[in-house]
Structure formats: structure tokens, C-alpha cells
């Protein structure tokens, strides 16, 4: 029996296999192949994820049912895409596989809950699901929910729809105008159109596609204020050995040797070591810290390098020490001129949320004390470079890149250590999130990692000299652009982010008043 109002054919058997598992299967295919994975990555496949949720909405029988259906539709795809979460939890968190394997499902369920909210909201326009108003509403709701995911529960804006497009930079230019969340909304609208099954509605796909493609083709590259020659050192240190005190000398020797090779071969303006490349407290005088300073002085090149650090809090009741995830900038003489402490820490990695109530949960990073976030996000300056630092996880948050550029950064630097995740999807998924930050802010990103992917990301999202995973090597770029021109998104980020939920709620309210209280 045909459902003319929705544009779909109602299944003859409500309990049929297609009815129960069809949308979930589409969402699984869309998420797995749309986002980076070890088998094959085909970015347009991600359109199937929002399309499957629209299909699920059209078959819902009430608001609660719409939420449950959306959650169950999206859960397999999200859990499969996040399978790698079980690796560090088991290998370094000490949990048996029986407890580690459910972790991707639990985190996937959190992401799927947002999909459930999407379906519940779209159920309001169930009788007009494939009108232009409904497509616009769907795009705004998706952008708003990704924005909410960026902030709620410490924030986890991983595998956003827009990040799936990173391997195709020509599709990402719109992020410079409406940001990654806005681009995700457009992608969701495209998936919505595909789900309609109607030729007339499907024609709307072409202008949406043009909206994604035209900004990159019409973009006139900004003239850089200058360029910098940069070498990134990928030390490829096994995570299980990284904090072995007997190997400290060997690890530092690896980085010093590669640095000398980089200087002899390319004479860079700056050498960058990854996050916590120095497995020592560099702030403490020791033979190791002295050797690093001497090596930098001998090489005659500034060094930006990650290291754990600590401070002694003075407030009443504070712990004896607190740790920091720090990036030091050393000048050509081996002297520390400035540093940056990571601002947005990784929950359960660098600290345990609600640790007083969850004493049985330990963090993954070794050490007796928990980390504390830094408070100074000013750029680190070396020559013509004003470097905005994003340590590891920070590259997935648009507001952090925004703050660095607002403070005067003409280039962004992302140092990371993705060795925790082995040969999984995580390093590429992480990279693809960083690509969005480059396009949003019109800044090149110097990305130095322990085991890959080390690369320079262009302001248009292109990759230059991407390294292989788990290789010991130097990535060099002789002309990293130093840019000062800002994007429309940068200038109006707060307005853009506010517009998504406000306009979405206005349209949702109007739709509910007009159609939501009507029964089929």
C-alpha cells in the first residue's frame, strides 16, 4: 500500500526483515565505508547514514518509537567505526577483552542517541518528510546536534559527516564559510534527498552538490605573508615501550639522530617532534634534558617538542603535583623560550571524569597524578612563524583552532601520538578531523605524530608528504604557507553556530504547529 504523503511504499509485513533491519544495514554500510577504515574508504557512502535515518523516521509510529528506531539504526554503524576504542582500553588500560569490546558499543550508543534525537525531531514533519522545508530542517538539525556533541559530556565531535569528505578536498571548501558542522548539515540534506525515492525531490541533490563543490573551485588562494621550511620527526616509538625508563636514552637518541639527518638534508627553519616525544620531565635538570639542549644547539635549528610536565598547585586541598601535556619551544641555542600546555584533556586518557565516584576506572596514561589543562593559548613564535598549538585530541574541536587564529597564529601545529590505536582506523579518522580545522581557519597545519600520519595539511585541505603508518622517518616541507587572512567562518563562527539551533528550532516549532499535531 503506497504512502503518498511520505513518498515511500509501506511494507506489506511490518515485521519483515527489510522493515526491521533495512535502514540499520544502510547506516552500517554508510558509516563503515564513508569514514576511514582498514578495508576501503569511499566518502560518498556516508550519505547512506542520514538517508537510513530518514527511512527509519518514515516508518516510525510515534515520537518515542522514532527515537528508539533512530538509535538502533545508527548504533551498528557508529560502533563498527569506533571499533578501535577497544585496543587502547585492552592493551594499555588493563581491561580484559570481555570488558574492552563493549566500549565501542557504549560510545557508539552515545553518538547513536543523537541520531535518535534527529529522528524524533524529524518525526514532526513525517507527513511532509520530502518537502524543501523538511530537507532544510533536517540539515539544520543535524548541524545543531553535531554542535551539541562538540560540547556535551566533555565533547566528542568524532566522525562528523563532513570529516568523511577529507580525502576529497574539492568537496570541503564550504567549511570555510559555514564550518564543518554546517557542511555536515549539507551532507545530511543530500542524504535526505537521496532517501526520498522521488525524481522531483531528487533534483534538489544537484544544487546541494554544487553548494559543496563551488567554494573550492571559486576560491582564490590567499597570498601567504611568508613561508617556512619545516621538518617533522616521526620517531615510531612502540607505545608499550615508550615509558620504560631503561629506554629513555635510546628514544631520545632516535629523535636526535633523525633531527640531524633533517638538518643536514634540508636545513629547516624549525624541527617538530611529536606529542610527549621526550619521555622525561624536560623541565628537570638531568643528563637527558642537557643532551637534548646540546643537540639542538649543535644542530642550530629551533625545536618544538612534546614532553610531560608538572606543576605544584598552591590552593588548599590540592594534590602534591599536577601533570601537564606540554609542548616546549627551544631556540637555536637550545634554550626554552616558551611552551604550551594542552587545554582540552582526553577523558579516561589524561583524567577520569567523576573519578571520586568511579575509583575502579583508571586512566590510560601512566602516572600517579592526573593531568590539569593549560590556560595560555597564545601562539609560540619562532622567526616569522606564530604557531597555534593543538595537541592530539584538540584538533577535533573547531573552537580551539578558532582561538589560536584569533590570538594571531599564522600556522597551526598539531602534535600527536596515535600509537595507542595500532594499525586501525583511528589515525586516519583523527587526520580527517584535523583537515576540517585547516579549511575552516585558512591555515596550514603542521602535523607531527609518533607513528603517523605526519603531514602538512594545506589551507584548502590538501595533504603534502603524508607519511606511512609505523615508519621511522622525516617529513619535510620547504614552504609551509604562513597566512593572516581569515575566513567568513572564522569571522562569524559564534553567529553561525547560534543560527543552526535557533533557525532549526523555529522551523521545528512551525512544522509542529502546522503538521505535528495531526494524525495520519
> What is the Cα Rg of the chain in Å?
24
Spatial CA neighbour of 367 closest among 238, 236, 242: 242
Q: Which of 342, 363, 394, 440 is catalytic?
A: 342
- Check: CB of residue 48 under 8 Å from CB of residue 34: yes
- Check: CB of residue 115 under 8 Å from CB of residue 74: yes
Bridge partners (DSSP) of residue 368 are none
Q: Which of 275, 343, 394, 440 is catalytic?
A: 275
For strands 380-382 and 473-482, give the pairing: unpaired
> How would DSSP label each residue in 180-245?
HHHHHHHHHHHHHHHHT--HHHHTTHHHHHHHHHHHHHH--PPPPSEEEEEEEEE----TTTTT-G
Separation between Cα atoms, residue 423 and residue 69, nearest integer Å: 33
Q: Is 103 a known active-site residue?
A: no
- What are the grid coordinates assigned to 117, written together? 534525537
Separation between Cα atoms, residue 397 and residue 412, nearest integer Å: 13
Residue with cell 597524578: 369
- What are the grid coordinates assigned to 486, written together? 581569515
3-state helix, strand, coil in the chain (%, to 5): 50, 15, 35
> Three-state SS for 386?
strand
Spatial CA neighbour of 410 closest among 475, 341, 480, 342: 480
Burial of 11 (0-12, 13-18, 19+ CB in 10 A): middle
Q: Which of 212, 392, 394, 440 is catalytic?
A: 392
List phi, psi (to 5°) of 473: -165, 175
Burial code (b: 16+ CB inside 10 Å, e: under 16) for 77-111 equals bbbbbbbbbbbbbbbbbebeeeebebbbbebbbeb
201 contact partners, CB below 8 Å, separation of at least 6: 7, 130, 135, 193
Q: Is 342 a known active-site residue?
A: yes
DSSP state of 395: G
Q: Which residues are catalytic?
A: 275, 342, 392
Amino acid at each position: 500500500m503506497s504512502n503518498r504523503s511520505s513518498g515511500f511504499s509501506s511494507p506489506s509485513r511490518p515485521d519483515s526483515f527489510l522493515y526491521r533491519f533495512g535502514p540499520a544495514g544502510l547506516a552500517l554500510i554508510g558509516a563503515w565505508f564513508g569514514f576511514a577504515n582498514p578495508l576501503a574508504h569511499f566518502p560518498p557512502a556516508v550519505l547512506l547514514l542520514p538517508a537510513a535515518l530518514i527511512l527509519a523516521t518514515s516508518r516510525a509510529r510515534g515520537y518515542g518509537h522514532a527515537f528508539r528506531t533512530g538509535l538502533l539504526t545508527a548504533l551498528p554503524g557508529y560502533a563498527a567505526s569506533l571499533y578501535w576504542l577497544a585496543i587502547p582500553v585492552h592493551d594499555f588500560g588493563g581491561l580484559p577483552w570481555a570488558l574492552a569490546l563493549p566500549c565501542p558499543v557504549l560510545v557508539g550508543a552515545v553518538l547513536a542517541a543523537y541520531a535518535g534525537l534527529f529522528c524524533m525531531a524529524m518525526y514532526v514533519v513525517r507527513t511532509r518528510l520530502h518537502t524543501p522545508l523538511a530537507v532544510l530542517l533536517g540539515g539544520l538539525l543535524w548541524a545543531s546536534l553535531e554542535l551539541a556533541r562538540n560540547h556535551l559530556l566533555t565533547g566528542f565531535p568524532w566522525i562528523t559527516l563532513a570529516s568523511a569528505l577529507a580525502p576529497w578536498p574539492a568537496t570541503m571548501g564550504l567549511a570555510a564559510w559555514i564550518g564543518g558542522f554546517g557542511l555536515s548539515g549539507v551532507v545530511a540534506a543530500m542524504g535526505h534527498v537521496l532517501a526520498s525515492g522521488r525524481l522531483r525531490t531528487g533534483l534538489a541533490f544537484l544544487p546541494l552538490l554544487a553548494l559543496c563543490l563551488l567554494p573550492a573551485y571559486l576560491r582564490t588562494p590567499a597570498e601567504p605573508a611568508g613561508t617556512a621550511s619545516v621538518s617533522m620527526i616521526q620517531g615510531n616509538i612502540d607505545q608499550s615501550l615508550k615509558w620504560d625508563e631503561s629506554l629513555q636514552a635510546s628514544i631520545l637518541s632516535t629523535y636526535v639522530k633523525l633531527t640531524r639527518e633533517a638538518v643536514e638534508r634540508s636545513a629547516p627553519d624549525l624541527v617538530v617532534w611529536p606529542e610527549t616525544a621526550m619521555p622525561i620531565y624536560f623541565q628537570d635538570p638531568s643528563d637527558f634534558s642537557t643532551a637534548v639542549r646540546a643537540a639542538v644547539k649543535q644542530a642550530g635549528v629551533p625545536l618544538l617538542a612534546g614532553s610531560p610536565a608538572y606543576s605544584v598547585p598552591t590552593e588548599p586541598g590540592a594534590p602534591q603535583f599536577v601533570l601537564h601535556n606540554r609542548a616546549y619551544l627551544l631556540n637555536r641555542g637550545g634554550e626554552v623560550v616558551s611552551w604550551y600546555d594542552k587545554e582540552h584533556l582526553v577523558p579516561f586518557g589524561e583524567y577520569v571524569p567523576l573519578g571520586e565516584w568511579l575509583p575502579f576506572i583508571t586512566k590510560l596514561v601512566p602516572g600517579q597524578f592526573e593531568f590539569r589543562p593549560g590556560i595560555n593559548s597564545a601562539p609560540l613564535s619562532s622567526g616569522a612563524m606564530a604557531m597555534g598549538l593543538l595537541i592530539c585530541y584538540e584538533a577535533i574541536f573547531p573552537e580551539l583552532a578558532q582561538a589560536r587564529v584569533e590570538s594571531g597564529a599564522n600556522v597551526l601545529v598539531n602534535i600527536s601520538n596515535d600509537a595507542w590505536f595500532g594499525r586501525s582506523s583511528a589515525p586516519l579518522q583523527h587526520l580527517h578531523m584535523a583537515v576540517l580545522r585547516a579549511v575552516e581557519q585558512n591555515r596550514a597545519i603542521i602535523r607531527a605524530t609518533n607513528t603517523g600520519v605526519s603531514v602538512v595539511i594545506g589551507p584548502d585541505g590538501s595533504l603534502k608528504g603524508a607519511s606511512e603508518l609505523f615508519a621511522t622517518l622525516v617529513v619535510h616541507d620547504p614552504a609551509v604557507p604562513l597566512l593572516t587572512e581569515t575566513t567568513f567562518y572564522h569571522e562569524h563562527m559564534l553567529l553561525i553556530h547560534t543560527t543552526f539551533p535557533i533557525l532549526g528550532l523555529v522551523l521545528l516549532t512551525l512544522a509542529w504547529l502546522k503538521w505535528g499535531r495531526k494524525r495520519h
